[in-house]
Amino acid sequence: MTATATSGCPVFAGRRDRLRAALAAMGHDALLVSHAANRFYLSGFELHDPQCNESAGYVVVTADGDDYLFTDARYRDAALRLWPEKNLCIYGAGRYAAIADFLKARGVTRLGFEPAGLSFDVHGRLSALLPLTPVALAVEPLRLRKDAAEIARMRRSAAINHGVMASLPDILLPGRTEAQAAWEIEKRFRELGASELAFAPIVAVDANAALPHAIPGETVIADGCLVLVDVGGRADDYCSDQTRTVWVGSKPPARFTEMLARVQAAQAAVLERIGPGMACREAYALAREVFAREGVAERFTHSLGHGIGLETHEGPSLNPSAESVLEPGMVVTVEPGLYYPEWGGARWEHMALITETGRDIL
């Protein structure tokens, strides 16, 4: 058997070959892939199953190129659309014994696993049947740089999000609660073509906007209030994430316009310089320097942004201690914010594709 992937379409097979090379460099014979986004990235199978106690299945990538998909009978027909039957294992109630027996029969005697993608309970059950070795962050580095097809999907996802943001004047109406506005936003995503939300929407009025991850509640939007909206959708499997902070109604007070201007200036300073070769912590520092000059740096309480793709939050992180360096093909959010618990906050967010020469706003 040559060390070439035998299962699935060429895109996914090519990704598994890249993983295979990485595993060989680390000295591992096989890897059990259980993280839902990683499983999908390598196989095209079942992205929407993040729960550790579900049984949508696992992909095993081996050193000799014979890769396997494990799932239960509910997913058999879907799996066969992507995977040859000889490399498919359908398990029942005794799934862990079935996995161990299947792999042992094919010469796998030691299995790597994703520590962040396997529960303590599952690890205990499977390791009693087959020796397991932790292999951290094997697939995630492969997902950092998006290929042309992924970028096209992310552009569509971002375009839908822009459409939702353009609808905010018709959604953030006085008399509506945060929760009601969040529901209107969710409907708008679906109307524009999103398959689902990428994460629970944030709609936060006045002081609630000082909570970076506020949960929409019964606070009512009024004439003369600020509203922070942080929302994202999923289209063609890929996520979007954007934030805007707006004033509803009458002329905004100076404290709001000054706060928002500072946030937008910090974002502009980053977007002017961000590009390949820049350290992620340097991007963060650019925003913080703007706030420091204005004497409000202590109000910037989170990272500048994060990678985005199949998941809303993935690598790299734009934080003050990040060691990663930006590379072409990475897509990151740039979302500086300022927060005042007494009366409100502001955040402004765009998605930036790192290109060979700079960046492109999605």
Per-residue HEC secondary structure of the chain comes to: CCCCCCCCCHHHHHHHHHHHHHHHHHCCCEEEECCHHHHHHHHCCCCCCCCCCCCCCEEEEECCCCCEEEEEHHHHHHHHCCCCHHHEEEECCCHHHHHHHHHHHCCCCCEEECHHHCCHHHHHHHHCCCCEEECCCCCHHHHCCCCHHHHHHHHHHHHHHHHHHHCHHHHCCCCCEHHHHHHHHHHHHHHCCCCEECCCCEEEEHHHHHCCCCCCCCCECCCCEEEEEEECEEECCEECCEEEEEEECCCCCHHHHHHHHHHHHHHHHHHHHCCCCCEHHHHHHHHHHHHHHCCCHHHCCCCCEEECCCCCCEEEEECCCCCCECCCCCEEEECCEEEECCCEEEECEEEEEECCCCEEEC
- Is the separation of the CB atoms in 230 and 349 below 8 Å? yes
Average pLDDT, the chain: 93
Which range among 107-121, 263-277, 287-301 shows the weakest confidence by mean pLDDT?
107-121
Task: Answer yes or no: is pLDDT of 5 > 60.
Answer: no
pLDDT of residue 90: 92
Report the alpha-carbon distance of residue 88 to residue 112 in Å, rounded: 19
Domain 10-143 falls in which CATH fold? Creatine Amidinohydrolase; Chain A, domain 1 (3.40.350)
Report the alpha-carbon distance of residue 4 to residue 194 in Å, rounded: 35
Query: Using one digit for the tens of pLDDT, what is the confidence trace for 252-276?
Result: 999 999 999 999 999 999 999 999 9
Query: Using one digit for the tens of pLDDT, what is the confidence trace for 307-343?
Result: 999 999 999 999 999 999 999 999 999 999 999 999 9
Per-residue pLDDT, averaged over 40-49, amounts to 83
Phi first, then psi: what are they for 160, rounded to 5°?
Answer: -60, -45
Domain ranges within the chain, ordered by starting residue = 10-143, 148-361
Report the alpha-carbon distance of residue 355 to residue 360 in Å, rounded: 7
pLDDT of residue 127: 94
Task: Answer yes or no: is pLDDT of 104 > 80.
Answer: yes
Task: Answer yes or no: is pLDDT of 207 > 80.
Answer: yes
Categorize the per-residue pLDDT at 4 as very low, low, confident or very high, splitting at 50, 70 and 90.
very low
Say whether pTM exceeds 0.85.
Answer: yes
Report the alpha-carbon distance of residue 211 to residue 216 in Å, rounded: 11
Q: How far is CA 251 from CA 257, 261, 337, in A?
A: 10, 15, 22
Four-way CATH pick for 148-361: 3.30.450.20, 3.30.565.10, 1.10.3720.10, 3.90.230.10: 3.90.230.10
pLDDT of residue 49: 62
- Is the separation of the CB atoms in 335 and 232 below 8 Å? no
pLDDT of residue 39: 93
pLDDT of residue 54: 58
